[in-house]
């Protein structure tokens, strides 16, 4: 999604704007721009190029001034062109606005402004905002009142930041439902779409909530309730954030770095929570709701994309270990269902970014239902983390690559802990699961040591146009996740299927050009997966099998990759690693932009 940054203080605003936008590049974008206001007045630069190219253009001719805003745009209304890039000015270049999200009633406002002679230049919904603020300023004569009055006329899901030549050293911000965080520095203030760019400068932050605005100077920040214009008192919070985690280091891509962090990711998810010597699980984040959890007799998990597939593993884990019925639903579908939800139902929102609009909307839907809302979130302090009654952070550290990898590993680990926590030692699997969770990091290391073997397999198969992934039970969600990884990174058409479904249709697709990646790990369904492989081979389909032993597979599968054994309930964590590496190397083989695949964004903050 779009990235927003803003600075105000004693330094040159351009420095933070450029650095901040570069940090937000992982969110995906197709154009960028910034405006800085100094003694010579405002200077606006916008480009369809990368932030890097704007930085080069400014080397000889920097933007001079102590306050400004910047933006990376992910096109929703209007093609990626210079005139559609943000910041958007009003006609007299006295108000400049950057925006993330969608203004749903922009056509009505635009028609009204055009009736009053306003000329529009762009094809965007955003451009109505500076013109509307300018019109309100002419009517009210005060920048703050004009800003608030204009924002209160906008409908949609958005966040905006504005600067004006009439309000030196002041940033104006408003959030309806797209994240904005204010950084409180020493005599300087920052604003951004997420904490990442701010953390280098200050860890004291204030998150704006829905329907809130802020008037920010280098030393003050006034927060205003957009519903009644009352002032809100809110103390800054201090985020514990390790900027090193977000630095690429000598890796070629964030994705490879984050895949290789998987052993540490599991350790961090378990740290302080898995007490093997006491044979128990302690989830401090659920202490507040421990009493309510006793009466939960149904769980609905809502999530999207990779988090949805991690949630599907969580469904099997919680049902098998804690004996509570679970239903996983796509957040984008859940919010439109009219299903009965009793007060003994708990909703768990699983999200890496904690800012996914569909998942937020799903939680908003049940806000008044009296159901318990829990979060399994990675981004500390994110919207979902703050909306839910309680939750368990993933502690995976910043995930920069658009393709979610270590977050999947962290989410499944946390969902296993939640299953154990709910089981209260009542499950026969309890002890074995606790012990085996502790063994996972070492086993992941062994798989990572097979990188070259996996790279060779990816190169061998990368030029196929279609791919099938199959798995059964705990490995069925992994087949879906593996297909998503290959799709989003290499752009190859890939489908994930439950192995048992092959004879109900997919087998018709199979021929020598349609390879299958079969998850054939040891377990009660191993033999059935072998049968699937034989059915596929009988139709000439190439098969790459991920397995624990080559027994029964040699002479059947065209290629095998042997990975360490673990108990069936934790196989998804180990099986995901080779699939992540396979899609990573396939994408490289095909020359794709690994960390920023086309058309995708890291945090999908629009519905
Ligand atoms: C996964 O690789 C994708 N980046 C995408 O499907 C992602 O998992 C989905 O958008 C959900 O994001 P979230 O976990 O931040 O809510």
Q: Which atom of ligand 1 is nearest to the CA of 407?
A: 14
Protein residue with least CA distance to atom 4, ligand 1: 403
Name the pLDDT band for 76 (thresholds 50, 70, 90). Answer: low
Name the pLDDT band for 415 (thresholds 50, 70, 90). Answer: very high
pLDDT at res. 136: 98
> 326-330 and 280-281: which strand pairing?
unpaired
What distance in angstroms lies between residue 307's CA and the mean position of ligand 1's atoms? 6
What distance in angstroms lies between residue 129's CA and the mean position of ligand 1's atoms? 30
Tell me, using a 6 A CB cutoff, whether residue 356 lines ligand 1.
yes
Q: Which atom of ligand 1 is nearest to the CA of 306?
A: 8
Name the pLDDT band for 105 (thresholds 50, 70, 90). Answer: very high
Protein residue with least CA distance to atom 9, ligand 1: 305
Tell me, using a 6 A CB cutoff, whether residue 488 lines ligand 1.
yes
Whole-number Å distance between alpha carbons of 222 and 212: 10
Domain 3-241, what architecture? 4-Layer Sandwich (3.60)
What distance in angstroms lies between residue 106's CA and the mean position of ligand 1's atoms? 29
Q: pLDDT above 90 covers what percent of the chain? A: 77
* Helix and strand numbers, DSSP H then E, in the chain: 18, 27
Tell me, using a 6 A CB cutoff, whether residue 305 lines ligand 1.
yes
Name the pLDDT band for 397 (thresholds 50, 70, 90). Answer: confident
Whether 602 is catalytic: yes
Which position has the higher pLDDT, 380 or 261? 261
Asked if domains 246-442 and 450-595 share a fold, the reply is: yes
Given a cut of 80, whether residue 376 has pLDDT beyond it is yes
What distance in angstroms lies between residue 483's CA and the mean position of ligand 1's atoms? 14
Given a cut of 60, whether residue 583 has pLDDT beyond it is yes
Q: Hey, where are the domains in the chain? A: 3-241, 246-442, 450-595
Superfamily, domain 450-595: Glucose-6-phosphate isomerase like protein; domain 1 (3.40.50.10490)
pLDDT at res. 245: 56
Distances 412 to 218, 299, 438 between C-alpha atoms, Å = 43, 16, 14
The percent helix, strand, coil of the chain (3-state, each to 5) is: 40, 25, 40
Of 13-17, 203-207, 237-241, 527-531, least confident by mean pLDDT is 237-241
Given a cut of 70, whether residue 249 has pLDDT beyond it is no
pLDDT at res. 567: 97
What distance in angstroms lies between residue 306's CA and the mean position of ligand 1's atoms? 5
Mean pLDDT value of segment 554-581: 96
> Is domain 246-442 classified as CATH 3.40.50.1820?
no
Tell me, using a 6 A CB cutoff, whether residue 402 lines ligand 1.
yes
Tell me, using a 6 A CB cutoff, whether residue 403 lines ligand 1.
yes
pLDDT digits (tens, 9 = 90+) for 425-477: 778 888 899 999 999 999 999 999 999 999 999 999 999 999 999 999 999 99
Mean pLDDT value of segment 408-416: 98
pLDDT digits (tens, 9 = 90+) for 269-307: 998 888 877 888 889 899 889 999 999 999 999 999 999
Whether 227 is catalytic: no
Mean pLDDT of the chain: 93
Tell me, using a 6 A CB cutoff, whether residue 353 lines ligand 1.
yes
What is the side-by-side strand order in the sheet with 88-89? 88-89, 95-103, 156-164, 171-175, 212-216, 221-225, 231-232
């Amino acid at each position: 999604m779009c990235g927003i940054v803003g600075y105000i203080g004693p330094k040159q605003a351009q420095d933070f704007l450029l650095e901040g936008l570069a940090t937000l590049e992982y969110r995906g974008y197709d154009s960028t721009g910034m405006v800085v206001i100094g003694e010579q007045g405002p200077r606006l630069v916008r480009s369809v190029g990368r932030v890097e190219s704007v930085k080069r253009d400014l080397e000889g001719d920097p933007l001079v001034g102590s306050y400004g805003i910047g933006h990376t745009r992910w096109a929703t209304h209007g093609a990626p062109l210079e005139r559609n890039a943000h910041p958007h000015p009003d006609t007299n270049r006295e108000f400049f606005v950057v925006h993330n999200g969608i203004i749903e009633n922009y056509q009505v406002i635009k028609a009204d402004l055009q009736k009053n002679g306003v000329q529009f230049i762009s094809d965007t919904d955003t451009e109505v905002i500076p013109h509307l603020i300018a019109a309100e300023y002419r009517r009210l004569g005060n920048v703050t009142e004009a800003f608030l009055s204009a924002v209160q006329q906008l409908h949609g899901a958005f966040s905006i930041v504005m600067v004006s030549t009439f309000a030196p050293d002041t940033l104006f911000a408003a959030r309806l439902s797209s994240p904005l965080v204010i950084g409180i520095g020493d005599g300087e203030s920052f604003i951004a779409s997420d904490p990442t760019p701010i953390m280098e400068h200050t860890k004291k932050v204030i998150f704006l909530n829905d329907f809130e605005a802020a008037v920010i100077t280098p030393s003050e920040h006034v927060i205003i309730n957009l519903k009644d214009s009352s002032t809100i008192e809110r103390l800054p919070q201090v985020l514990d954030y390790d900027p090193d985690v977000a630095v690429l280091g000598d890796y070629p891509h964030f994705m490879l770095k984050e895949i290789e962090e998987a052993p540490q990711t599991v350790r961090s998810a378990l740290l302080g929570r898995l007490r093997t010597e006491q044979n128990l699980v302690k989830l401090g984040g659920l202490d507040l709701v421990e009493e309510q959890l006793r009466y939960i007799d149904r769980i609905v998990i809502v999530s999207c994309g990779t988090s949805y597939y991690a949630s599907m593993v969580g469904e099997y884990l919680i049902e098998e270990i804690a004996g509570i019925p679970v239903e996983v639903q796509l957040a984008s579908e859940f919010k439109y269902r009219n299903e009965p939800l009793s007060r003994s139902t708990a909703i768990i929102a699983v999200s890496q970014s904690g800012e996914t609009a569909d998942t937020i909307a799903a939680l908003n839907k049940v806000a008044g239902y009296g159901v318990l809302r829990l979060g399994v979130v990675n981004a500390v302090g994110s919207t979902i983390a703050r909306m839910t009654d309680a939750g368990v952070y993933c502690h995976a550290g910043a995930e920069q690559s658009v393709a979610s990898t270590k977050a999947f590993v962290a989410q499944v680990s946390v969902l296993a802990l939640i299953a154990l926590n709910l089981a209260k030692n009542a499950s026969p699997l309890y002890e074995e699961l606790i012990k085996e969770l502790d063994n996972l990091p070492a086993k992941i290391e062994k798989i990572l040591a097979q990188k070259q073997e996996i790279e060779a397999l990816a190169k061998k198969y990368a030029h196929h146009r279609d791919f099938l992934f199959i798995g059964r039970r705990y490995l069925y969600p992994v087949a879906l996740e593996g297909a998503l990884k290959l799709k989003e990174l290499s752009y190859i058409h890939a489908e994930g299927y439950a192995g048992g479904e092959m004879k109900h249709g997919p087998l018709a697709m199979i021929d020598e050009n349609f390879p299958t990646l079969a998850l054939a790990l040891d377990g009660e369904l191993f033999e059935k997966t072998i049968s699937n492989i034989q059915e596929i081979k009988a139709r000439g389909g190439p098969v790459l099998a991920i397995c624990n032993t080559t027994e029964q597979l040699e002479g059947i599968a065209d290629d095998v990759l042997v990975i360490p054994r673990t108990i069936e309930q934790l196989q998804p964590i180990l099986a995901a690693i080779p699939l992540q590496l396979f899609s990573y190397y396939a994408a490289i083989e095909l020359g794709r932009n690994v960390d920023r695949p086309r058309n995708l964004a890291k945090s999908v903050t629009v519905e």
